[in-house]
């Protein structure tokens, strides 16, 4: 049975008629797949950055076409050099991997500001404060 993360809302209510809270199982280890061009040096530095913050990450790589640098996290496309024309920020990808490894959903990572005031304010705020790669990541993940 899945129980949402309630760590930010305090302890669960107790009392007669309320079910006992089931202990949560740890989320599965995050899986990262990186497709890159042959001889790409960026992939090595990205892997080092990921392993610094998430040493248990399961990382696999594959040599692809000359313009390839695609990153999938838990089988979801999270970055595409083909679509963006540039390499990712290693720190940003490592941060996404860290929270994904803790069981946070990508929706949780990218859309928390919806609670700040609804759709119009959220869209304006997110466009100003969210870098283009994250907005592309979000649209690829949600759509």
Per-residue model confidence as pLDDT tens digits over 34-84: 999 998 889 999 999 999 999 999 999 999 988 889 999 888 888 888 888
What secondary structure letter does DSSP report for 41?
A: S
Which is higher by pLDDT, 60 or 23?
60
CATH architecture of 31-142: 3-Layer(aba) Sandwich (3.40)
How far, in Å, are 68, 71, 78, 92 from residue 106 at the CA level? Answer: 23, 14, 9, 13
In sequence order, what DSSP letters do the residues of 68-115 get, joined into one string? -EEEEETTEEEEEHHHHSSPPPHHHHHHHHHHHHTT--HHHHHHGGGG
What are the boundaries of each domain within the chain? 31-142
Q: What is the mean pLDDT of the chain?
A: 75
């Amino acid at each position: 049975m899945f129980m949402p993360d309630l760590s930010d809302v305090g302890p669960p209510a107790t009392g007669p008629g309320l079910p006992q809270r089931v202990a949560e199982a740890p989320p599965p280890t995050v899986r990262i797949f990186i497709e890159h061009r042959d001889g790409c040096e960026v992939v090595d530095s990205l892997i080092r950055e990921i392993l610094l913050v998430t040493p248990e990450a399961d990382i696999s790589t594959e040599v692809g076409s000359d313009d390839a640098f695609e990153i999938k996290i838990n089988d979801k496309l999270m970055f595409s050099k083909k679509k963006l024309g540039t390499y990712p920020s290693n720190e940003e990808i490592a941060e996404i991997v860290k929270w994904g490894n803790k069981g946070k959903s990508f929706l949780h990572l990218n859309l928390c500001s919806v609670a700040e005031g609804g759709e119009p304010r959220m869209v304006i705020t997110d466009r100003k404060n969210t870098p283009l790669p994250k907005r592309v990541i979000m649209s690829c993940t949600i759509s």
